[in-house]
Amino acid sequence: MKKYITTFLIIAMGISILILFNINQKNNEMLDKYMKESVNIKSVPKNIDSIVFENQINNIQIMRYEYILERAQEEMSPDCKDKLDTIMSEVE
């Protein structure tokens, strides 16, 4: 009877170890998948920051062009103003 109990315990421990290795492998795969996703998530704020920075640069350029156009309209002759107004109305 004692022989059977030790044999049963050895077989049960072997099966338990195999099951634990299988669970460990699945957990490692899930962890790798999570790490890849977290790297992608970490890069999102950098992309958003760069887009916001580009937007600020574009806004500054637009403000410069508007300032130049306003200044040019103040200093233009009436004929040039009429032509500029015509061009601006066609573009918009």
Statement: residue 42 has pLDDT above 60: yes
Q: Rounded distance, CA 83 to CA 56, Å?
A: 31
Statement: residue 92 has pLDDT above 60: no
Q: What is the mean pLDDT of the chain?
A: 81
- For residue 72, what are the domain limits? 2-91
Angle, CA of 6, 12 and 16, to the nearest 5°: 145
What's the total number of domains in the chain? 1
So what's the pLDDT on residue 79? Answer: 83
**For tokens 């233009």, what's the residue?**
76
How many residues does this entry show for the chain?
92
